[in-house]
Amino acid sequence: MNTATLTIDDFSSKNTPAIVDYLQEKGIKPIFFATGQNVEHYYEEALYAVRKGMIVGNHSYSHPAFSSLSLEECIREIENCESVLDRLYRDGGAERRFRPFRFPYGDKGGENKAALQKYLKEQGFHKVEDTHLSYPWWKENGLDRDIDTFWTFDFAEYNMHLNPDFTKESVWKRMHDDKPENGAALFGKNNRHILLLHAHDETEEILPEYYKLFMEELLKNGVTFDEPAFQSSSIT
Q: Distances from the Cα of 230 to the Cαs of 2, 96, 116, 153, in angstroms? A: 19, 14, 19, 19
Least CB distance to Zn ion at residue 10 (A): 5
Give least dist CB 33 to Zn ion, A.
7
Give the Cβ contact number of residue 137 at 10 Å: 12
Instruction: Report, in Å, the least distance between residue 189 CB and Zn ion.
Output: 30
Q: Which is nearer to Zn ion, 104 or 183 (CB)?
A: 104
CB 58 within 8 Å of CB 85: yes
**Does residue 9 touch Zn ion according to CB under 5 A?**
yes
Site for Zn ion in 85-114 (CB under 5 A): 104
In the complex with Zn ion, which residue's Cβ is closer, 10 or 45? 10
The stretch among 7-15, 76-84, 91-99, 216-224 that binds Zn ion (CB under 5 A) is 7-15
Indicate the residue whose CB is closest to Zn ion: 9
Task: Tell how strand 55-58 and strand 31-34 pair up.
Answer: parallel
What gap in Å lies between CA 50 and CA 133, rounded to an integer? 28
Task: Give the nearer residue to Zn ion in terms of CB position, either 171 or 191.
Answer: 171
105 or 137: whose CB is closer to Zn ion? 105
Identity of residue 82: E
Scanning 9-17, 147-155, 182-190, 199-207 for contacts with Zn ion by CB under 5 A, the matching segment is: 9-17
Min dist CB 25 to Zn ion, Å, is 25
- Least separation, in Å, of the C-beta of 232 and Zn ion? 27
User: Residue 34: CB partners within 8 Å, gap ≥ 6?
Assistant: 10, 11, 12, 46, 56, 57, 58, 59, 81, 84, 85
Measured from the CB atom, the residue of 148 and 191 that comes closer to Zn ion is 148
Task: Please list, residue by residue across 168-192, b when 16 or more beta carbons sit within 10 angstroms of its beta carbon and e when fewer do.
Answer: eeebeebbeeeeeeebbbbbeeebb
Residue 10 binding Zn ion, by CB under 5 A: yes
Q: Minimum CB separation from Zn ion for residue 105, in Å?
A: 7
Give the rounded distance of the alpha carbon of 11 from its chain centre: 9
Site for Zn ion in 124-153 (CB under 5 A): none
Binding site for Zn ion (CB under 5 A): 9-10, 104
